[in-house]
Every structure is written in C-alpha cells, then in structure tokens.
Amino acid sequence: MPVANYETYCKMLDRAKSGKFAYPAINVTSLTTANAVLRGFAEAKCDGLIQLSTGGAAHASGTSVKDMAMGAIAIAEHVHRVAERYPIYVALTTDHCQAKVLDTFVIPLVEATERRRAAGLPNLFNGHMFDGSALPLKDNLDIAVPLLERCAKDEIVLEIEVGVVGGEEDGVRAEGPREKLYTTPEDMVEVARRMNAIKGARYLLAATFGNVHGVYKPGAVQLRPKILKEGQEAVERAFGPDALFALVFHGGSGSSLADIREAIDYGVVKMNVDTDTQYAFTRAIADHMFKNYDGVLKVDGDVGNKKAYDPRPYMETAEIAMAVRVKQAASDLRAVGTTMFGT
Ligand SMILES: [Zn+2]
C-alpha cells in the first residue's frame, strides 16, 4: 500500500487506542533498514511506523553531505515508492528534534510537505516530533502549541515529550534530576489544557515513566508504567474521557513484556524501537564476517572470495534478520494481524 494518508493514519491511531495494541515505530538510517521494516510489518500483517532521528537522517544523506533534512527526504521518497509493493500501511515520522535543530530538521520537512500539498501530492511525513523535554514545561509548550497549529493545517500529527528519557541517543546523553524521568500528573494535565485547545489537531505525547534509550542490564532500569495511568486519570478528571492521550513509549528496547503490555493498557499506541533492531542487523553481519573470515579478507596475499565480500548477500541477510526483530516487536505490542489493509 502507499504510505498512509492523514485519514488512514488517524484511523490507525484510533484503532490501536481502542484495540489496546501499539504500533512499532522503527528507526531506520538507510534503504536497507527501511526495507527491513517494511518486510517485517508485511510478514507480521501489521501496519506501523518508519522513523528517522536527526543523526540517522544525516547519515542517510552521506558522509560528505551530512544534511539531516535531505537524508530524511531521501529515505521518505524511497519509502513512498517501495511501500506500494507491501500489503500493509506504513506511516513516516521523525524522532527527537530538540528546539535548537527545529530549523534544520523539522521545519524544512514541514515546508517540503507544504510544497507537495500545494502541488497536489501526498504529505512527505505523517508526523514529526518536537522534543522540548529539556526545557521548562511552559517553554516546551510555548514552542509546541504554535507548531501544532501549523501541523494541523498540513494534516501532520505532532509528537511532543514531557519529562526526560534517560540514556543515550545519537550520542546525546540525557542527564538531569532523577524525578524528571517520571512525568507528573500535573504536567500531563497542563499539556492537555494547552494542546487540546487547538481544535481538530492530532498529537501524541511521550510521557516518561523511567524510560531510557538503549539496552541496560536487568535491574538497571526502573520502569513505572503506573505513572501513565495516574496521568491519564488526572487528565480524565480534569477534561473528560475525550482528552485522554495517545501515548508514545520511548526507550522500549530491552523492556520486559509485562511493562510493555501494561503501558499499552494505559494508552500507549506507538513504541519506538531502535537499539534492538540495530543489534539484530549487526549481529547478522558479524556472523557473516566471522564465518567467512578468509573470504571477506585478502589474508596473507590471497585474493579473498568475491561472493563473501560483495556487500549484497550480507546486507540482505541483515535486512532479513532485522525484519525478524521487527516481527518480534509487533508481537510484543499485540499488533500482529492488525493491518487495516483490505478492511
Ligand atoms: Zn526516544
């Protein structure tokens, strides 16, 4: 199917919310990893999201260009073309974008969508994330609210974050007071008050409940999904059931299935997966290199084996291995078999 349009993407989010499942949102950095995600979704018969971080997008543009907006556009255009060959819907989004890089990442991508819309073409991206979690809540929302107004006009779903996700992403380590790892009910009520004032707009909230990026040894991470429940209950008391958030789970890699499922029960509709799929991809390549050591290298004046050092076979093996991990994510999130394709 082509990339989901706004109406389909909104329906996807509503279905996840009412059906108590969540979509895998898998980070990609290349054509091969994007293809791996599409393969995984198709095999799991689920719809889902492909997303790009600032660093992943810069990588995709090439080492001598390093233009994050350009890399994101290149991957998105690829997905728009090849997604037609897969029997599922995929939505395209971007990941963490701090205030200081809005003008070099999200805004040029919104402008690209605005140019496409003016020409009668579908949106480039279904959604973008603004991560103002390092700012005081008021400053965070002072940027998020006008951005949401613009996104709403363009039929783009905005994702915002309140509270800090720990760990490291794109080499950026989140440090700060420990309590910021847990979003408070008061903060969630304030988000609903300001963001729900934009009528007809759609947004997702990444509220933090002890999440960290990356994978840590068991016991090092203390997830408290009840934080989401308490926040949702406070929002419902203040503004009624229609105000309940569609939530995003960041730092999902390495989380226990019980924590994942509990978070879904409290309204998580999207879980970001990066570290686990990175590992699946690289593990397959490592396996190839170790097994074909004499072939991939020209050892002791030998000539190596072209079949072993041609990147295609091991990149394809890596693509398939990553697709298997994507299927696993779909299963963890109760998304298997939930595609809207053909319904
Ligand atoms: Zn994240």
pLDDT digits (tens, 9 = 90+) for 42-56: 999 999 999 999 999
Q: What is the pLDDT of residue 254?
A: 80
Q: What is the pLDDT of residue 177?
A: 56
Query: HSE (CB half, 13 Å, CA atoms) of 146?
Result: 7
Q: What is the pLDDT of residue 328?
A: 97
Ligand 1 centroid to Cα of residue 161, in Å, is 9
Q: Which pLDDT band, with edges at 50, 70 and 90, does 215 fall under?
A: confident
Check pLDDT > 80 for residue 221.
no
Using an 8 Å Cβ cutoff, are 245 and 232 in contact?
A: yes
Check pLDDT > 90 for residue 2.
no
Residues within 5 Å of ion ligand 1 by Cβ? 250
Name the token pair of 224: 């408290």
Active-site residue among 95, 131, 259, 332?
A: 95
Q: In degrees to the nearest 10, what's the CA dihedral of 237, 155, 269, 282?
A: -150
Q: What is the pLDDT of residue 101?
A: 97
Check pLDDT > 90 for residue 181.
no
Ligand 1 centroid to Cα of residue 209, in Å, is 12
Q: What is the pLDDT of residue 166?
A: 73
Ligand 1 centroid to Cα of residue 250, in Å, is 4
pLDDT tens per residue across span 91-147? 999 999 999 999 999 999 999 999 999 999 999 999 999 999 999 999 999 999 999
Q: Which pLDDT band, with edges at 50, 70 and 90, does 214 fall under?
A: confident
Ligand 1 centroid to Cα of residue 212, in Å, is 8
Q: What is the pLDDT of residue 178?
A: 58
Q: What is the mean pLDDT of the segment spanning 260-275?
A: 97
Q: What is the pLDDT of residue 158?
A: 98
Q: How far is CA 111 from the centre of its chain?
A: 21
Q: What is the pLDDT of residue 220?
A: 66
Q: Which pLDDT band, with edges at 50, 70 and 90, does 163 fall under?
A: confident
Handedness of CA 203, 170, 123, 66 (dihedral sign): positive
Ligand 1 centroid to Cα of residue 252, in Å, is 9
Check pLDDT > 60 for residue 175.
no
Q: What is the mean pLDDT of the segment spanning 194-210?
A: 95
Q: What is the pLDDT of residue 182?
A: 87
Candidate from 37-46, 173-182, 304-313 with smallest mean pLDDT: 173-182
Ligand 1 centroid to Cα of residue 213, in Å, is 6
Mean residue pLDDT of the chain comes to: 94
Q: What is the pLDDT of residue 168?
A: 67
Q: What is the mean pLDDT of the segment spanning 233-248?
A: 97
Is 95 tagged catalytic? yes
Check pLDDT > 90 for residue 309.
yes
Q: What is the mean pLDDT of the segment spanning 25-48?
A: 98
Tell which wins on pLDDT, 181 or 117: 117
Check pLDDT > 80 for residue 164.
no
Q: What is the pLDDT of residue 179?
A: 63
Residue 317, Cβ density class (10 Å: 0-12 exposed, 13-18 middle, ≥19 buried): middle
Q: What is the pLDDT of residue 251?
A: 86
Whole-Å CA distances, 306 to 32, 135, 264, 292, 295: 21, 52, 47, 11, 7
Ligand 1 centroid to Cα of residue 340, in Å, is 26
Q: Which pLDDT band, with edges at 50, 70 and 90, does 218 fall under?
A: low
Ligand 1 centroid to Cα of residue 286, in Å, is 26
Collect all residues with Cβ–Cβ distance below 8 Å to 31 and sequence separation of at least 6: 75, 78
